[in-house]
Amino acid sequence: MSRGEQCSLPKDMPEGLDPEQRTEELMKAVNVGKSVVFSRLTGAKVITSNYAGTTVDFCQGHIRVGKGKFDIIDAPGTYSLQPTNKSEEVAVEMLKQADIVVIVLDSTNLERNLFLTHEILETGKPAIIALNMWDEAQHLGIDIDQDMLEGALGVPVVPTVALSGEGIKDLVDKFDDARTSELEPTIDEARWINVGTIIKNVQTVTHKHHTMRDRLEDVTIRPLTGIPIAIGIIFLAFWLVRFIGEGLITFVMDPLFELYRPAVMDLSNMLGGSGWLHDMLIGSLINGDVDFLESLGVLTTGLYVPFGMVLPYIVAFYLVLALMEDTGYLPRLSTLSDNIFHRLGMHGYGIVPLMLGMGCNVPGVLATRNLETQKQRFIAATLLAVSVPCMAQIAMIFGVLGSHGPFYIFLVFITLFFVYITIGLILNRIMKGESPEIFLEIPPYRRPVLRTTLKKTWMRVQGFLKEAVPWMIFGVFFINILYTLGFFDLLGQAFSPLMESWLGLPAVVAPVLIIGFLRKDLAVGMLLSLGTLMSPMQLVIAVTMLTMYFPCMATFIVLFKELGLKGLVQAIMVMFIMAATVGGLMRLILIGV
């Protein structure tokens, strides 16, 4: 007989569990992924308790479906409902308390599993059956008639692949359809006879070899092979984004802004080349000419930053993202990273804002909308703003530290990596709220349709143009007012002592860090002119602080729009605390007292 495992709600419930909530019980044969199914359903937040009056452990978690909530209890395993030890006795008792039973079967060994299934259905409990390892059954040439099996057992049947998450969403959708079976209690011999009859009617086995696509799907979803492949694909994706983005800037956007330059200069001459209105609209003239990157006017930098610098990378990222979606790889990437991101308070989809943020933090923050809860969105956006450099800034980091050797570049990125993990772990522990499990259908690999991919890319670019660009232009206008009034000079003077005493940096670095609020990549570039005044280790600290201490202006505006004022203030507090702490630690470690 098979060894089953189950989840149920005991009479003496653990403290904090609401007796009004419906309770799911998982039961299945050994080594067919019940624990993986349990993890898929409940996410990372699981409580381990002892059953009342015993030392037998069980796990509990919960899942929200619409406005309803289901508690799921992972009970000890049992060979059958005829217990032979204390653990099996507890399993049987917990089954009696369950509202719904989810019976998880191994699709590659259906006959062995159906005996325990028969026993469970005879109890009259509402049930659902999950045919797990469905993909492996198909690879082995095992064909199971799902509808016929559902008719024979009298309860809903859902194919699943717990490892990848395929079918889990369908399983959750079936919770409300759980029903009792018409199977009557009988003896073991009669059960085995009925199991044999069911297998004869619903299952056929044919010899089948794995196709190349089957093998590719397997190796890209299994952690041992999938993670190295994912790393390679991510690097390839970033290379494509940088190649396409830089190409669009060089051959499309820069030539267009050069055509725009004469009109701006004409307006500058009309305004007299100086004055408050000139500074607002045109900004400062650099060597008698407009510098779209440094003039800081609404009609110069205010237009060039969103359209000339950010938009090309946005187009490139959304194109690559659409390709990863349409080929079917993105859900696999999210699944591979799910366990890691759950520990940081998110789920596997958290890798999408991270990837987008390494091109430009603005679309990265916008991508947090796809996370379900406020807690997930806040953690993802804060981590992005604190420790994820954009593509333009990454290039400038290489420019500042490249001449000193790769070791110093490595120090920056390894520090940011540890900061990302540390903040995520802390926020996940202290923040209230839920981090629900990810539900993604894992489609087969397929060839993308160019028209569909381009249409999807354009729709996302339109969303960026409508929602982010107006705020970015407004941000340039507002910050330009503060810059004209000398606000940033005052801040630079005020923070100079902190630069020297706590971070171990020259006082002249303070204004550079303040300018980083306007454009972090620009501020990193300004460090090049100060390179002779600082050691390589000081440059490492300055570049790291510039990445962490505050988002650039564009990201700041989008964070305000996405998180609201309260969320933005909380995120800024995290940034300052972590930046100050990490900066001081880096000074002690890299420079000494």
Q: Using pLDDT thresholds of 50, 70 and 90, give the confidence band for residue 9.
A: very low
Q: How far apart are CA 271 and CA 290, in angstroms?
A: 14
pLDDT at 24: 65
Q: How far apart are CA 130 and CA 103, in angstroms?
A: 6
133: left (phi over 0), alpha (psi -120 to 50) or beta: left
- Where does residue 450 rank: exposed (0-12), middle (13-18), buried (19+ CB within 10 A)? exposed
Domain ranges of the chain: 4-209, 324-591
C-alpha dist (Å) from residue 162 to 201, 306, 439: 26, 42, 11
pLDDT at 56: 44
**Token pair 């660009």: residue:** 469
Q: How far apart are CA 297 and CA 299, in angstroms?
A: 5
The torsion angles phi and psi of 231, rounded to 5 degrees, stand at -60, -45
Q: How far apart are CA 280 and CA 300, in angstroms?
A: 10
- pLDDT digit string, tens, across residues 172-186: 888 888 999 999 999
Q: How far apart are CA 469 and CA 93, in angstroms?
A: 60
CB 61 within 8 A of CB 42: yes
- pLDDT digit string, tens, across residues 184-201: 999 999 999 999 999 999
Q: How far apart are CA 102 and CA 385, in angstroms?
A: 42
- pLDDT digit string, tens, across residues 114-123: 988 899 899 9
Lowest mean pLDDT among 14-23, 442-451, 581-590: 14-23
C-alpha dist (Å) from residue 260 to 310, 373, 474: 18, 44, 20
Kind and range of the H or E element at 105? strand 100-106
- For residue 77, pLDDT over 70 is answered with no
pLDDT at 392: 66
Residue 342, both tokens: 């759950």
Q: Report domain 4-209's class.
A: alpha beta
Kind and range of the H or E element at 210? none
Higher local confidence (pLDDT), 208 or 213: 213
Q: How far apart are CA 130 and CA 109, in angstroms?
A: 13
- pLDDT digit string, tens, across residues 409-453: 999 999 999 999 999 999 999 998 877 776 665 767 878 878 778
Specify the pTM.
Answer: 0.62
- For residue 54, pLDDT over 60 is answered with no
Higher local confidence (pLDDT), 581 or 2: 581
Q: Which long-range contacts (C-beta less than 8 Å, at least 24 apart) are formed by 39-43?
A: 39/437, 40/162, 40/165, 40/168, 40/437, 41/72, 41/168, 41/171, 41/172, 41/437, 42/72, 42/437, 43/342, 43/347, 43/435, 43/436, 43/437
